[in-house]
Amino acid sequence: MNQPLAIAILGASGRMGRALIESALRTPTLRLAAAIERSGNPALGSDAGTMIGAETAGVAVTDALPAALAKSAVLVDFTGPAASLLALEACVLANRPIVIGTTGFTPEQKIAIGKAARSIPVCIAANYSIGVNVALKLVETAARTLGNDYDVEIVEAHHRHKVDSPSGTALAFGEAAATGLDRDLRSNAIYGREGQTGARKKETIGFATIRGGDVVGDHTVLFLGDGERIEISHRATSRSNFASGALRAAEWLSSQPAGLYSMRDVLGLND
């Protein structure tokens, strides 16, 4: 019988960290080996299980990342760009795969992630929900099929505490549409409109952002044609779907060679 895969979770006391701990503790093929937070975090020293209101897990929250990696097979990271890059360096030194759920990386930071992936397996995705990744595939297919006769607009909503805008998932939907239309998103994206903006340019991919309340994450891609409108939507009602997807990615990544992977690779959606 195979032993459960030892998982380390970085950003353990955050919204996603707690969801990951909860999911890991109830997944028979996984073992929570380490829960990591930044120095000074109030959760340090507490039991990871009791921190989320569950039974004692026997794993104390720590800020000692190298020691945590030494007893883990894969690191799952949902923090911020700076912390993720530090974790990436630690994983390269420890020769450990890393699943990155952080968004908001700069182009230069993305290059650094790509370089690290020459040494270790790295999975990075804007969203680890299985449903979102199926929707991304649908958006790309719809864009390719509908072509330039349909305008593309993306509307997203998140809770009031989200710090980046548009969301990484919204940008991923934009990239999927741009790929299907053979366009460059950075050259054609419009992030909001105000005032006398003039008529809409055909090649534009528009984004509208909503922030408020406790919205986990809503995304809708609209293909707007003459006489009809096609909408592809995904609405998350909890973070459990993101957590289970990220842990599925961790299990898959643990047996892969060094390289840069996405959730589409994990789900076999690149064919």
Domains in the chain: how many in total? Answer: 2
One domain, residues 200 and 222: yes
Closest CA relative to residue 124, chosen from 133, 225, 27 = 133
Burial class (CB in 10 A: 0-12, 13-18, 19+), 94: middle
What pLDDT shows up at residue 96?
98
List pLDDT tens digits, range 72-130: 999 999 999 999 999 999 999 999 999 999 988 999 999 999 999 999 999 999 889 99
Are residues 80 and 19 located together in one domain of the fold?
A: yes
At residue 123, φ and ψ (nearest 5 deg) are -115, 125
CATH assignment of the domain containing 149: 3.30.360.10
Whether residues 118 and 140 fall in one domain: no
Give the residue numbers marked as catalytic: 158, 162
- pLDDT tens digits for 8-34? 999 999 989 999 999 999 999 999 999
Measured CA to CA, the distance from residue 85 to residue 77 in angstroms comes to 10
Task: Give the number of other CB atoms < 10 A from CB of residue 204.
Answer: 14
Quick check: 249 pLDDT over 60?
Answer: yes
Cα separation, 16 vs 100, in Å, equals 12
Are residues 181 and 145 both part of a single domain? yes
Residues 79 and 107 in one domain: yes
- Tell me, yes or no, whether 23 and 118 share the same domain: yes
Owner of token pair 């299985």: 130
225/96 same-domain check: no
End-to-end C-alpha distance for the chain, whole angstroms: 32
8-state DSSP, 121:
E
* Cα–Cα distance list, 112 to 101, 107, 260 (Å): 16, 9, 11
Same domain, 114 and 171: no
Closest CA to 126 of 145, 107, 142, 104: 104
Q: Do 17 and 118 share a domain, yes or no?
A: yes
Indicate the pairing of strand 189-191 with strand 151-158: unpaired
The structure's pTM equals: 0.81
Residue 50 sits in the same domain as residue 154: no
pLDDT score of 11: 95
> Does 156 share its domain with 72?
no
Contact between 76 and 8 under an 8 Å Cβ cutoff? The reply is yes
CB 103 within 8 A of CB 74: no
Helix pair 81-94, 107-116: axis angle to 10 deg? 10
pLDDT of residue 1 exceeding 70, the answer is no
| Domain at 116, CATH number | 3.40.50.720
Residue 271: pLDDT above 70?
no
CB 213 within 8 A of CB 159: yes
Q: Which one, of 152, 143, 156, 161, lies nearest residue 236 by Cα?
A: 156
Q: Could you list the residue range(s) of the whole structural domain that residue 228 is in?
A: 130-236
If asked whether residues 46 and 100 sit together in one domain, one would say yes
How many residues are there in the chain?
Answer: 271
pLDDT digits (tens, 9 = 90+) for 134-144: 999 999 999 99
